[in-house]
Amino acid sequence: MSALLEVSDLEVAYGPSQVLFGLNFSLADGEAATLLGRNGMGKTTTLRAICGLEPVKAGRIRFAGEDIAGWRPDRIGRAGIALVPEGRQCFPNLTVDEHLVAFFANRRQRSAAWTPARVYELFPRLLERKKNLGNQLSGGEQQMLAIGRALVTNPRLLILDEATEGLAPLIRDEIWACLARLRSEGQSVLVIDKYVEKLIGLADRHTIIERGHVVWQGSSAQLDADHGIWHRYLGI
């Protein structure tokens, strides 16, 4: 499998405060990968830099053969990266259906493209809430909408930042089931989440970040076999 995303020597700073110090990791086409680490270690910053939401101080981000560091977020979106952001960020004054219709695009002419109708089939609760505004949805429904909104852009890479955060266990399971299905359909995914056991079942490869440095990389089998790593780097 060829690399779909390749992050090399990535450095990002907020003003004088540098938070990423030369990160290296990659993700193959069709692969599911995670970024792990304790709070404040630089995971969200990494995702935001990939999506063009934070400027890159140094290093390279290659996506589908192009250097995308420095591109604007909308261009990166059109190139095929979709972010499900921390906190969902649904529009309070758009209905569920308006979100999905507004974001729908099938730029790569996929035969089995994600359409609003397919999102409603994936998340029947959203169909029930079709006419509700973003601010009239529960946290779980907002999360489903944030995922649906990303899917209808038909991304080559779907990125999820803490998609199960703050959700009730049953809703969380629904999100995990959705990710497992996407995975089985060959969708490339990059995920940040706290539930390491779930991520081991879902993803192929993991990168652990500590204070802006990669401190461990390996497969699900390797991570599963060494709980010392969980303890040392994740505080579990």
Q: Is 43 in the site for ligand ATP (CB under 6 A)?
A: yes
Number of residues interacting with ligand ATP: please give it, by CB under 6 A. Answer: 11
Sole window of 42-50, 59-67, 118-126, 149-157 interacting with ligand ATP (rule: CB under 6 A)? 42-50
- The contact pattern for ligand ATP, residues 22-41, with x = CB under 6 A and - = no contact, is ---------------x-xxx
Q: Is 42 in the site for ligand ATP (CB under 6 A)?
A: yes
Taking the C-alpha atoms of residue 210 and residue 99, their distance in angstroms, rounded to an integer, is 36
Considering beta carbons, is residue 152 or 229 the nearer one to ligand ATP?
A: 229
Taking the C-alpha atoms of residue 199 and residue 191, their distance in angstroms, rounded to an integer, is 8
Contacting residue, 14, 101, 121, 221, with ligand ATP by CB under 6 A: 14
Taking the C-alpha atoms of residue 175 and residue 123, their distance in angstroms, rounded to an integer, is 10
Considering beta carbons, is residue 4 or 208 the nearer one to ligand ATP?
A: 208
Which residues 46-65 are close enough to bind ligand ATP by CB under 6 A? none
Q: Is 19 in the site for ligand ATP (CB under 6 A)?
A: yes
Compute the least distance from the CB of residue 178 to ligand ATP, in Å. Answer: 21
What does the H/E/C string look like for the chain? CCEEEEEEEEEEEECCEEEEEEEEEEEECCCEEEEECCCCCCHHHHHHHHCCCCCCCEEEEEECCEECCCCCHHHHHHHCEEEECCCCCCCCCCEHHHHHHHHCCCCCCCCCCCCHHHHHHHCHHHHHCCCCEHHHCCHHHHHHHHHHHHHCCCCCEEEEECCCCCCCHHHHHHHHHHHHHHHHCCCEEEEECCCHHHHHHHCCEEEEEECCEEEEEEEHHHHHHCHHHHHHHHCC
Which residues 67-126 are close enough to bind ligand ATP by CB under 6 A? none
Sole window of 14-22, 66-74, 180-188, 227-235 interacting with ligand ATP (rule: CB under 6 A)? 14-22
Compute the least distance from the CB of residue 17 to ligand ATP, in Å. Answer: 6
Sole window of 43-51, 112-120, 142-150, 181-189 interacting with ligand ATP (rule: CB under 6 A)? 43-51
Considering beta carbons, is residue 55 or 70 the nearer one to ligand ATP?
A: 55
Please report, as ranges, the residues that interact with ligand ATP according to CB under 6 A. Answer: 14, 17, 19, 37, 39-45
